[in-house]
């Protein structure tokens, strides 16, 4: 074991603060990574505050990790010291169930081992995430970050990026398709960039006039103000695919009505309360309403490689580690364009 410093929440109502803990030494197939940057995902806030009622404290959040390999175990073949790498939401899975065999580790049947707040492999304690100086991860759950993209701006690709990439690929979004992205936040802004780069005609749906210019800057061909019922009615029956990245409660039927025959709406934002769905809205045009959770390791690498080829990263705002509590408050007000990233060089040497 070695001593690692980080930032943790010690209780649901506690501010995140410096924290010292032990990590395992790298085993034969492990990669030891010096963390350079970690993105701040809304899940971090939910978990730190025990809003999903399953947090084990102390909680070190962070699953949008990029860093440089410091050392590798004797049997590691994929990485070596000095490599630019990333770690996303998962650090292991059973590797044997049908989901794992299909490269969909996020749907692992016994359950994937998540980067933080999951039981450790040795049964002792739980995983600690990327708000820390180093992390040790099995080589099969480490991703390669292309040299051509900015390192800090690549960090949120590991969760926000793949969460939007996975459904766009699963539903084969591409040229000749009319695609809608609902909501322009951490997820939505990546949905716009990816759908445009994949060749679709992209419409951003937003409640806010103030986001029209930004939506266009990010590549959206059209922007529709969803509060405008006449504008929404004009979009009826016309979309092949809609990606809904809104996690607040909202009228899902207004978007289902925009799908044409056999169109699909995939929900990636996660509203806390159930959403009422008009079944007539679905059956009149054989529409589908689906969900999607992050992405597998293979598709995460595919997404990173695509970002390298197309020069795609997230729009980020860099913060110091000690600004994390303020950043959470700003996130709750959607006051971020479009993802906070922690510069891990600002983490105190010792807690
Ligand atoms: Zn996340
Ligand atoms: Zn599995």
Ligand 2 centre to CA of 31 (Å) is: 21
Could you list which residues have their CB under 5 Å from ion ligand 2?
93-94, 97, 100, 108
Ligand 1 centre to CA of 236 (Å) is: 32
Ligand 2 centre to CA of 114 (Å) is: 12
Ligand 2 centre to CA of 109 (Å) is: 5
Ligand 2 centre to CA of 108 (Å) is: 4
End-to-end CA distance of the chain: 17
Distance in angstroms (rounded) separating the CA atoms of residues 21 and 246:
35
pLDDT at 351: 54
pTM, rounded to two decimals: 0.97
- 335 Cβ contact partners less than 8 Å away, ≥ 6 residues apart: none
pLDDT at 123: 86
pLDDT at 120: 93
Ligand 1 centre to CA of 294 (Å) is: 8
Strand partners, 288: 264
Ligand 2 centre to CA of 103 (Å) is: 9
Ligand 1 centre to CA of 305 (Å) is: 20
Choose among 156, 195, 186: nearest CA to 304: 156
Ligand nearest 39 Cα, by number?
Answer: 1
- 215 Cβ contact partners less than 8 Å away, ≥ 6 residues apart: 184, 192, 204, 206, 223
Per-residue pLDDT of the chain (351 residues; tens, 9 = 90+): 999 999 999 999 999 999 999 999 999 999 999 999 999 999 999 999 999 999 999 999 999 999 999 999 999 999 999 999 999 999 999 999 999 999 999 999 999 999 999 999 888 899 999 999 999 999 999 999 999 999 999 999 999 999 999 999 999 999 999 999 999 999 999 999 999 999 999 999 999 999 999 999 999 999 999 999 999 999 999 999 999 999 999 999 999 999 999 999 999 999 888 999 999 999 999 999 999 999 999 999 999 999 999 999 999 999 999 999 999 999 999 999 999 999 999 998 865
Distance in angstroms (rounded) separating the CA atoms of residues 30 and 233:
54
Ligand nearest 129 Cα, by number?
Answer: 1
């Amino acid at each position: 074991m070695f001593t690692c410093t980080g930032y943790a929440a010690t209780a649901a109502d506690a501010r995140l603060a410096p924290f010292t803990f032990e990590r395992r030494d790298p085993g034969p197939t492990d990669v030891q990574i010096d963390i350079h940057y970690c993105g701040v995902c809304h899940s971090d806030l939910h978990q730190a505050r025990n809003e999903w009622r399953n947090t084990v404290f102390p909680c070190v959040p962070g699953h949008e990790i990029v860093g440089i390999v410091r050392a590798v175990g004797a049997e590691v073949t994929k990485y070596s010291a000095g490599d630019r790498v990333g770690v996303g939401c998962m650090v292991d899975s059973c590797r044997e169930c049908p989901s794992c065999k299909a490269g969909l580790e996020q749907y692992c049947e016994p359950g994937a081992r998540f980067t933080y707040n999951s039981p450790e492999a040795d049964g002792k304690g739980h995983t600690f995430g990327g708000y820390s100086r180093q992390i040790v991860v099995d080589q099969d759950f480490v991703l390669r970050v292309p040299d051509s993209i900015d390192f800090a701006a690549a960090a949120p690709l590991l969760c926000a990026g793949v969460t939007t990439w996975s459904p766009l690929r699963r539903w084969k979004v591409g040229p000749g398709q009319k695609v809608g992205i609902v909501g322009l936040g951490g997820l939505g802004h990546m949905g716009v960039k990816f759908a445009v780069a994949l060749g679709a005609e992209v419409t951003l749906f937003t409640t806010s006039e103030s986001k029209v210019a930004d939506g266009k800057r990010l590549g959206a061909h059209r922007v529709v103000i969803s509060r405008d019922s006449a504008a929404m009615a004009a979009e009826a029956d016309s979309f092949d695919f809609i990606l809904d990245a809104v996690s607040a409660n909202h009228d899902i039927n207004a978007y289902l009505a925009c799908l044409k025959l056999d169109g699909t709406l995939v929900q990636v934002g996660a509203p806390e309360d159930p959403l009422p769905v008009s079944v007539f809205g679905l059956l009149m045009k054989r529409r589908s309403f689906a969900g999607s959770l992050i992405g597998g390791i293979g598709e995460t690498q595919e997404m990173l490689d695509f970002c390298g080829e197309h020069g795609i990263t997230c729009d980020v705002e860099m913060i110091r580690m000690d600004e994390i509590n303020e950043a959470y408050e700003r996130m709750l007000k959607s006051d971020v364009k479009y993802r906070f990233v922690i510069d891990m060089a600002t983490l105190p040497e010792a807690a």
